[in-house]
Amino acid sequence: MFSMPLRDGARLGPLEVRHAEEFAEHLDRAREHIRPWVGAAFVTGDLAGARGTLERYARRQAADGARLFGIWREGTLVGGVMFTDFQAALGSCEVGCWLEPAAEGHGLVTQACEALLDWAFHVRGLHRAEWHCRADNDRSAAVAKRLGMTLEGVRREAWPYEGVRHDKQLWAVLAREWRAPGR
């Protein structure tokens, strides 16, 4: 019901079970583009799989855990951002993202992640937000950098994909390093 405006007339809003059909259609456009870089469970192949992802996030959100948000441009779901992990008691979260190819290169994910981090730090009072990506995922690392995150380390050969183990980067920003909302 509620959404917030992003640049280029795009909008950010909760991605819920009721969106299963458009999420499945979006995955048809995004699947091969995101497959090497995101968790295997996220890359489902049909409507039931897409609905399963939304149901899993809904259950976790109900427990104040992970949350999923979609990015709509001209009424079409083109990607999204999420708290892949959210632990209020520990003051810590992890943010993730994806886009279909046509939506890349417009700054939508950076702006959407800023909204999530504003909420995590300023509304929920979290202390630390992480970003995990394959070390050769230059576009993802560029988002972390644009968000002002620091590369804290590399988990060597931590990401198995198609028989090869890739290094994984860990980026993070602390509440005291985060900027004020709207800046």
Ligand X SMILES: CC(C)(COP(=O)(O)OP(=O)(O)OC[C@H]1O[C@@H](n2cnc3c(N)ncnc32)[C@H](O)[C@@H]1OP(=O)(O)O)[C@@H](O)C(=O)NCCC(=O)NCCS
> In this complex, which beta carbon is closest to ligand X, that of residue 107 or of residue 148?
107
> In this complex, which beta carbon is closest to ligand X, that of residue 90 or of residue 142?
142
**Minimum distance of ligand X from residue 113's CB (angstroms):** 8
One-letter amino acid at 134 equals R
Q: Residue 29: phi, psi to the nearest 5?
A: -85, -25
Binding site for ligand X (CB under 6 A): 7, 33-34, 37-38, 96-99, 104-110, 133, 137, 139-140, 142-143
Question: Which residue's Cβ has the minimum distance to ligand X?
Answer: 107
Asked if 128 and 174 touch (Cβ cutoff 8 Å), the reply is: yes
**Minimum distance of ligand X from residue 38's CB (angstroms):** 5
**Minimum distance of ligand X from residue 146's CB (angstroms):** 6
3-state secondary structure of 177: helix
**Minimum distance of ligand X from residue 102's CB (angstroms):** 10
Residue 179 CA to residue 147 CA, distance in Å, equals: 10
Pairing status of strand 128-134 against strand 164-174: antiparallel
> In this complex, which beta carbon is closest to ligand X, that of residue 53 or of residue 110?
110
**Minimum distance of ligand X from residue 14's CB (angstroms):** 19
Q: Which residues are within 8 A (CB) of 69 and not within 5 positions of it... i.e. 6 or more apart?
A: 12, 13, 14, 15, 80, 81, 82, 112, 116
> In this complex, which beta carbon is closest to ligand X, that of residue 33 or of residue 56?
33
> In this complex, which beta carbon is closest to ligand X, that of residue 63 or of residue 180?
180
